[in-house]
Every structure is written in C-alpha cells, then in structure tokens.
Amino acid sequence: MLKAEVFRKLLNLWAIFIPVLYYLLPQASARTLLLLVTVTIVAIDFIRLHINGIKEGFILFFGSFLRRRELTNLSGATFLLLGCLITALLFARPVVISACSFVIVGDTFAAMFGQNIKGPRIFKKTLIGSLAYFGSNLIVVVVLHSLLDIPFWILFSGALMSTIFEALPLPWDDNFSVPILTGIGMSLIL
C-alpha cells in the first residue's frame, strides 16, 4: 500500500515538462505549447466536472489519483498549469524555470513526507512537509545554478519564498498561487 502511495505522489512530477520546455525551447515557443496544453487540460477538467457520463468514467479510471475535493472541483493539475501559464506570461525565462520547478518538485516531496509522517503543523501544513518542500528545492537550486545565469543567493531566496508561500494559508489553491508569488518575489530581487 505504501508503495502505491509513493508512486501516486511521484506522479506529481509529470509537470516537470514545463521548466524543461522553457529550458530547451525559445520562450515564445514554450509559451505557445504551455498555452495549448493548459487550454486542453482546463477543457477536459471542465467537461469532467459537468458532463455526467464523462464524470463517472473519469472517476472510475482516475479517481484514485484525485483528492476528495477534486472530485467536485478543478484538479490540482489544472491549477498548477494555470499558475505556471500566468507565471510564464509575466516573467523572464529563468524566473519561470525556477518558480515552476520549485512548486513542482517541492509540492511532490512535501506531499510524500508531510502526509506520511505525523508532526507539528504550521497553519494547515505539516512541519515535515514544509522541510521536505524546502530540502528538495535546495537540490533544485544546485541544479538550476549549474544551468541558468542566476546567482545562487537569488535561487536560494526563490526556494525559500516558494516554501513560505506554500505554507501560508492563502485563499487560492497553492498550485496556482505559489509559482506566481515566487515569480514576483524573484523578479523583485533580480
């Protein structure tokens, strides 16, 4: 059972294609592809929620991957794509790569550790989950520092900001808000 849970949480890394796309392609091409993927997923998610036959089929095949609230609301994947798309439209390429990498990797490891190891909570998040979020993003900082022309301290600050934004009880889905807020923060210190 634990192996299935870990595998399901690792599937959250599917979105790593976004920063990879931004690294490999010119920004205009990456934005266009991200826009097409986002529009497609938002449309599928909207149809999933509003057409009964499709709703039941989706739950049958993908229900084990959805959180309880996602059965009746937009999925975390939709919010993540929307957040990364807005980040991509607002900020420079290195900021997009960094902010999106932080939320994708950090959220995956926060879920793996925070949901499986009990401990004190900060707001509604576990301290262990927040530490896993930040710790995994320190690895992302090292990788990005070798790939991007951004000073280490700015990447470190971005990872820290992303961790704080993820832990705060913001009124929006954190998959949506964290990359945007991290992008704003990193842009202010660049």
Which residues constitute the domain of residue 24?
A: 2-189
For residue 14, what pLDDT is reported? 86
pLDDT (mean) for 147-164: 96
Q: Spell out the residues 6+ positions from residue 100 whose beta carbon is closer than 8 angstroms to its own.
A: 15, 18, 19, 22, 84, 87, 88, 179
User: Is the pLDDT score of 91 beyond 90?
Assistant: yes
DSSP string, 40-67: HHHHHHHHHHH-HHHHHHHHHHHGGGS-
Evaluate if pTM is beyond 0.75.
Answer: yes
If one compares 160 and 63, the residue with the highest pLDDT of the two is 160
Model confidence band, residue 1 (pLDDT cutoffs 50, 70, 90): very low
User: Is the pLDDT score of 178 beyond 90?
Assistant: yes
Give how many domains the chain has, as a whole number. 1
Report yes or no: 178 and 166 within 8 Å, Cβ to Cβ: yes
Q: Spell out the residues 6+ positions from residue 77 whose beta carbon is closer than 8 angstroms to its own.
A: 14, 15, 41, 45, 175
Model confidence band, residue 77 (pLDDT cutoffs 50, 70, 90): confident
Report yes or no: 136 and 109 within 8 Å, Cβ to Cβ: yes
